[in-house]
Structure 1
Amino acid sequence: MSRIVNTAQSQAWNGYEGTHWADHFDRYDAINAGFNESLLSAACLTADSRILDIGCGTGQLTREAARRAPRGIATGIDLSGPMLARARERAGSEGIATIAFEQGDAQVFPFPAGEFDAALSRFGIMFFADPVAAFSNIARALRPGGRLAFVTMPPMTGTDLGTVFGAAATHLPTFEISHTHGPLADRDGIRALLTAAGCTDIAVDYLEADGIWGRDIPDATEFIMGWGPVRHHRMLTDPAFAGSARAVTSPVAANSGPPSSTEVFAIDDQVRAAVAAALAPFATPDGIRLRGTAWLVTATTPLP
């Protein structure tokens, strides 16, 4: 693996976070696949395209891109060893030959200059330590006139996801659903970032797509309880959870010291019940369907 500068993210995606995504790849794909068609169309791929998928995870988007470029090649890059193992396994089982995967940090990975016709990403570009440096490196990897297309997450407030995670946050004092991914959270920030990275013809459009979060309310609830951010804030609230040594008291217990074991279990039960109740309006015969939101971003690299 090449040099890593985003060490915190590398630790997360090679630990619990990456393992959870690798183990539940089909569930995460069911959540995010609704964005694939819009994203791939925006990338303007041809049968000969050389494609870079940034933060490719378990590789569903990379595989779909490879199918659209049968005479080209699709290369996925990600920090996560567990997710890349799953990506390689899936590509092999589907018999896709024009595909490759690299483990590395796209912010500093030594891509050959002008190697790719298109770079794309499905929510895999939100975690760079230095976004300008990262997108500058990606832009250098594109040929002149190359195409960049990705989706990134707007703030969750007021969305289906905001409703569900906001219910969990009511009982998890460290969980801030208003948290955003820096300059990638709004149109002006995205345009400024990509301009600084040397991109042109920047467009930012709002996109929505349904995702399936589970078979039914109990199934989706347990999945969400194990999802990385929710699990992290459960650990912060519960000093005994998964060996965590850090205690953060709930608002109810704020003036009475750390929560007791009884209070801890009560808090966790409250989170589970709140999530289940918030999911109820989204139950359908097809499963728990939440509408996801994204910024669909496109740009090009300058011609000589």
Structure 2
Amino acid sequence: MTTTDTVQVHPGNAAQLRAWDGDEGAYWAAHADHFERALAAYHPRLFEAAAITADDRVLDVGCGTGRTTRDAARTAWAGSALGVDLSSSMLDVARERAAAEGLGNISFQQVDAQIHAFAPAAFDVAVSATGAMFFGDRVAALANIGHALRPGGRVALLTWQPPTDNEWFRSFTTTLAAGRELPTPPPDAPGPFTLADPDVIRAVLADAGYGRISVEGMSAPMWFGHATEDAHRLVAGLLGWMLDGLDQPTRDRALDDLRADIAAHATPAGVLYESAAWIACATRP
């Protein structure tokens, strides 16, 4: 694993580097199959919006373990795909999976896309699946990504709609809160719902210098595991920090409530929760 002091990041992204190049990123890397499958229902529409062609040069921002990058490399078979992320653990998995699939037009870098000096006009398309919300300065990050796009190049973003429209988030946080009022992060703090308002998405993209902006809503089931215990282990491991400060009986009750909620969402196709996201597209002038 690359140590966090070797990666140059904007100060506003330092906490994200500590998390994603630390325990959180390692957990996602260890459960890559689950996390890659969780968003699978959104990939066809995201790629339709990105309109990647055979000879495009594609930049995947916040690529994680590389599912989106690999799909881009297969689509741009005469072009190339570069995935960038802050997590060395996830990038290790991404490289292994790309090599196993024999993708020779793909590469990965551990960089902060908000400040990294991409070559100007080096890409035709940039995509980001649930990554753009985590930048300390989303306008600066998307402007930097836009600088890396050729004139007329396009960006396609997948971002979550508000928590009220995402059953998975409501269910998990309610059960693990165990009756407590959880603190609300500042509205501009990096997090999964900072681009949940379509007006904010449009404003951020416009301020970053993009034109021809469109935002489309989409709902899809989100997959969390093959069966109840499989999904329970995944979610409890991911969100176990929410139980900090609780006594053991309360912790046990919260985990039992989580298990019961997950069991109620078990189907023959696995554990499914409703989710909703925005797919935003824009063009560099």
State the TM-score, normalizing by the size of structure 2. Answer: 0.91
Offset at 1:176?
A: 5.3
Distance 1:232 1:198, change over 3 A: same
Of 5, 9, 22, the match for 1:4: 9
Match in the other structure for 1:41: 48
Of 199, 206, 213, the match for 1:202: 213
Match in the other structure for 1:64: 71
Matching of residue 271 in structure 1 with residue 254 in structure 2: yes
Distance 1:280 1:178, change over 3 A: farther
Which ranges of structure 1 fall in alignment gaps of 5 or more residues? 239-263
Offset at 1:163?
A: 2.7
Alignment partner of 2:182: what SS? coil
Give, as a single letter, the amino acid of the residue that structure 2 aligns with 1:185: A
Of 221, 227, 231, the match for 2:232: 221
Offset at 1:182?
A: 6.2
Moved more, 159-168 or 268-277: 159-168
Match in the other structure for 1:231: 240
Q: How does 1:1-304 map to 2 (within 5 A)?
A: 3-5=8-10, 6-161=13-168, 162-171=170-179, 173-174=181-182, 181=192, 183-227=194-238, 230-235=239-244, 237-238=245-246, 264-302=247-285
Give, as a single letter, the amino acid of the residue that structure 2 aligns with 1:34: A
Q: Provide the rounded CA distance (Å) in 2 between the counterparts of 1:178 and 1:171.
A: 22
Alignment partner of 1:126: what SS? helix
Alignment partner of 1:114: what SS? coil
Distance 1:64 1:89, change over 3 A: same
Q: Provide the rounded CA distance (Å) in 2 between the counterparts of 1:23 and 1:181.
A: 21
Distance 1:226 1:175, change over 3 A: farther
- How many residues end up aligned between the 2 structures? 274
Offset at 1:183?
A: 4.8
Q: Provide the rounded CA distance (Å) in 2 between the counterparts of 1:274 and 1:178.
A: 28
Give, as a single letter, the amino acid of the residue that structure 2 aligns with 1:291: E
Give, as a single letter, the amino acid of the residue that structure 1 aligns with 2:209: G
Q: Provide the rounded CA distance (Å) in 1 between the counterparts of 2:263 and 2:93.
A: 32
Q: Provide the rounded CA distance (Å) in 2 between the counterparts of 1:209 and 1:20.
A: 24
8 Å CA contact 1:2, 1:109 repeated in 2: no
Q: Provide the rounded CA distance (Å) in 2 between the counterparts of 1:150 and 1:268.
A: 37
CA deviation digits over 1:245-269, x for unaligned, max 9? xxxxxxxxxxxxxxxxxxx111211
8 Å CA contact 1:157, 1:178 repeated in 2: no
Which ranges of structure 2 fall in alignment gaps of 5 or more residues? 1-5
Offset at 1:49?
A: 0.4
Distance 1:168 1:2, change over 3 A: closer
8 Å CA contact 1:144, 1:301 repeated in 2: yes
Offset at 1:178?
A: 11
CA deviation digits over 1:209-255, x for unaligned, max 9? 2222112222211211111xx222223x24xxxxxxxxxxxxxxxxx
Larger radius of gyration: 1
8 Å CA contact 2:130, 2:192 repeated in 1: no
Q: Provide the rounded CA distance (Å) in 2 between the counterparts of 1:266 and 1:176.
A: 25
Alignment partner of 2:95: what SS? helix
Distance 1:75 1:12, change over 3 A: same
State the TM-score, normalizing by the size of structure 1. Answer: 0.85
Q: Provide the rounded CA distance (Å) in 1 between the counterparts of 2:223 and 2:83.
A: 24
8 Å CA contact 1:72, 1:98 repeated in 2: yes
Distance 1:38 1:76, change over 3 A: same
Alignment partner of 1:157: what SS? helix
